[in-house]
Amino acid sequence: MFKLSSKVLAGTLAITLAGTSIAWACEDGQKSYIEAGASTFGGIPLVKGTKNFMNLQETAAVSLKELKGSPATTADVFAHKGFAYLGTHRGQMTNEGVRIFDLKDPANPKEVAVIGNDIPGTWQEKVIVQSVSTPSFKGDIAAISVQRVDKERYGYEGETSPNGGVVFYDVTNPASPKKLGFWKTPSELPTGTHEFWLTKQNNRLLLLATNYQAARYKEQGVEVNDFSIVDVTDPSQPKDLANWDPTEVGGAFDGNYTYKDETGASRTAFLHSVIADETGKYAYLSYWDLGTIILNIEDPANPKFVGRTKFERDVQGAAHSAALAHGGNILIETREVFNPDPHDPAFERGWGYVRVYDIKDKSNPVLLSTFRTLNSAVQIKAGERQPGTYTVHDPKVRGNTLYLSHYSDGIRMVDLTDPSNPVEVGSYVSDKANVWGVFVDRNYILASDMGQGLKVLQKVGSGLR
């Protein structure tokens, strides 16, 4: 286990059981997309941990059924009321939708339905499920992202949807989902929505959506900015409330997809993902090299810039995702860096890692610490790294434990009791691991492995901490 403080890299095996001008992101960052291969469940996954995780075991590993003649590649994963919702990556570009699994017996998940697989030329990476009670709808809503695969970027020649966006389903009965509505990004935007968030304000439901890399396509007639706020209280009739202009952050940023920051470093700015706090008052926008931008969205039609994280000259940037801890006073920022050997000689080498901020004063986030795995921390010459992709990906927080999906480094569990001193307390790495998403629910942890499907980890006895 290696952990890097904000001041110095300190590598200790304390728990043995335990950018360039065009940015890479999980949407297109791997040098070639990883196809789902044959299952390798015969091997014994490596599970390590302290007392809270030492009894953690992989109890299920379910490869996805082929719906359209090709293996599906998994993406994000979510759990709600005993059901798992597993998104799919563009992979074979066969529009595999979101698979729904009954986890009544977590050791034997049963696929009961699929949603979103009827929108040709798209992929459904992100999925969020919430119980909702509004004047227009009462029940459980599943929202899924719709991102387009076009000829220009992927060489896709098949039938395609004219829009990306977010589709809503009634999953009150998960085995019999019903489509409710479709919030659409402009047809001029060849991407769509990569990630999004749902948040509640009183009896109103809001969609916080990324218009993925919209600034990159201004010259092609795309007039929207990267961030939209939409009223989806009635999911059958989404209503746009705001489309936020990121030039409000000021400084050296000029509103373009690529720009030079105050230090002269070449940077890339686009909104990758977004979350909100539990009150629905603040939104946290993972804006790649612009850092994590904090907006006040109390008036969702008029979002206001509050503050943002910033990167030192030697840090590649790449704010990919965020999570909150300690009652919303601590911000977890994951940086997805796919290029461990950057072209800019002033940038540090190595894969992406975690930065932890104190945000009690949201106008002035203060870096407390960083956390990185051994594989992402080792600084060696280009071409001498072991095979794999060791950047961090998504964060989830439960109590004082941070759960990280880490591609070839599997899942890492990190104790955040002292945010200035994050300590790895557990890990799960399966054979040929390529973990995209992680989610903690009840007494199990779910992982989505891009090539191997849905993984279920369980700890028998008391619940996960």
**Can you give the pLDDT at residue 49?**
61
Task: Give the pLDDT of residue 66.
Answer: 82
- Cβ-based burial of 329 (10 A; exposed 0-12, middle 13-18, buried ≥19): middle
- 426/398 Cα distance (integer angstroms): 14
Q: Is the dihedral of CA 114, 116, 117, 123 positive or negative?
A: negative
pLDDT at 374: 85
Look up the domain containing 288 and give its range.
2-459
What pLDDT is stored for residue 68 in this prediction?
78
Q: Is residue 261 part of a domain?
A: yes
321 pLDDT exceeds 80? yes
Per the DSSP assignment, residues forming a β-bridge with 441 are 444
The stretch 173-196 carries a mean pLDDT of: 97
Residue 422, domain member (yes or no): yes
Give the per-residue pLDDT at 336: 97
Tell me: the pLDDT tens digits for 362-416? 999 999 999 999 888 766 666 666 778 999 999 999 999 999 999 999 999 999 9
Residue for token digits 């999570």? 323
User: What's the CATH code of the domain at 114?
Assistant: 2.130.10.10
Does residue 396 form part of some domain?
A: yes
Q: For position 26, what pLDDT does the model report?
A: 67
> According to the model, what pLDDT value does residue 351 have?
92
**Is the Cβ–Cβ distance between 267 and 212 less than 8 Å?**
no
154 — pLDDT class (breaks 50, 70, 90): confident
pLDDT one-digit tens code per residue, 106-133: 999 999 999 999 999 999 999 999 999 9
| pLDDT recorded at residue 376 | 87
Whether the per-residue pLDDT at 33 is higher than 80: the answer is: no
Residue 446 CB partners (closer than 8 Å, separation 6+): 77, 79, 84, 437, 438, 439, 440, 454, 455, 456, 457
Residue 465 is assigned to a structural domain of this protein? no
Question: What is the pLDDT at residue 31?
Answer: 31
Q: What local confidence, expressed as pLDDT, does residue 93 receive?
A: 84
Q: How confident is the model at residue 16 (pLDDT cuts 50, 70, 90)?
A: very low
CA 392, 88, 45, 9: dihedral to nearest 10 degrees? 0
Whether 338 shows a pLDDT value over 50: the answer reads yes
Residue 175 makes CB contacts below 8 A (sequence gap 6+) with: 100, 102, 112, 113
Residue 3 has pLDDT above 60, yes or no: no
Q: What confidence score (pLDDT) does residue 293 get?
A: 98
Phi, psi of 106 (to 5 degrees): -60, -25
pLDDT at residue 17, rounded to an integer: 28
Distance CA 139, CA 203 (A): 13
Distance separating the N- and C-terminal Cα atoms of the chain:
20
Residue type, 238: P
- Cα separation values, 386 from 311, 340, 379, 426, Å: 28, 12, 12, 22
Q: State residue 2's pLDDT score.
A: 35
For residue 28, being part of any structural domain is answered with yes
Closest CA to 83 of 176, 6, 3: 176
Per-residue pLDDT of 218-258, as tens digits, reads 988 999 999 999 999 999 999 999 999 999 998 899 999 99
Q: How many domains does the chain have?
A: 1
Which of the pair, 33 or 431, is modelled with greater confidence? Answer: 431
| 3-class DSSP state of 427 | strand
Q: Is residue 464 part of a domain?
A: no
Q: Is residue 251 part of a domain?
A: yes
pLDDT of residue 213: 95
Percent of the chain with pLDDT over 90: 71
> pLDDT confidence of 331, banded at 50, 70, 90?
very high
Average pLDDT of the segment spanning 73-87: 96
How many angstroms separate the Cα of 389 from the Cα of each of 192, 262, 330? 26, 31, 27
Q: In this predicted structure, what is the pLDDT of residue 23?
A: 56
Instruction: Decide if 427 contacts 18 (C-beta within 8 A).
Output: yes
pLDDT surpassing 60 at residue 174:
yes
Number of neighbours of residue 158 by Cβ within 10 angstroms: 11
Mean pLDDT across the chain, nearest whole number?
A: 87
